Amino acid sequence: MNNKTNEEKEIVAKAEEVTIKYFKEREELDVVITGHEFSPNDFQTVFIDGHVKGDKSKTFGVGIEYGGGEYNISSRSYSKSLKLKE
């Protein structure tokens, strides 16, 4: 059980890092992570929630697929007030 907890913490930390880097590099935004939720194990996805730093009305959620050491954004959702470049 403890190994699972440590593994999940590592997955979340890496997924948060990927999310922050994505918004910084692709959207030129600084973001604050507010939460996470794992999908069922067979999907190997963690959902990361947050908002733009300094504006809690501009929220987002991203799905990060993890597996084989790779972490990739598989889905994005965001509030209407958050305008993205893509």
Is residue 85 in some structural domain? no
Is residue 37 in some structural domain? yes
**Interior angle at CA 35, CA 77 and CA 11, nearest 5:** 95
Q: pTM score, two decimals?
A: 0.89
For 8, the token pair is: 């999940």
Is residue 86 in some structural domain? no
Instruction: State residue 67's pLDDT score.
Output: 87
Q: Which range has the top average pLDDT, 2-6, 38-42, 46-50, 81-85?
A: 46-50
Instruction: State residue 86's pLDDT score.
Output: 65
Whether residue 65 has pLDDT greater than 80: yes
Whose tokens are 């999310």? That residue is 19
Closest CA to 66 of 34, 40, 41, 44: 44
Instruction: State residue 52's pLDDT score.
Output: 97
State the total domains in the chain: 1
Task: Residue 54: give the domain boundaries.
Answer: 2-78
For 21, the token pair is: 């880097």
Which CATH number do you get for residue 62?
3.10.450
Average pLDDT on 75-86 reads 87
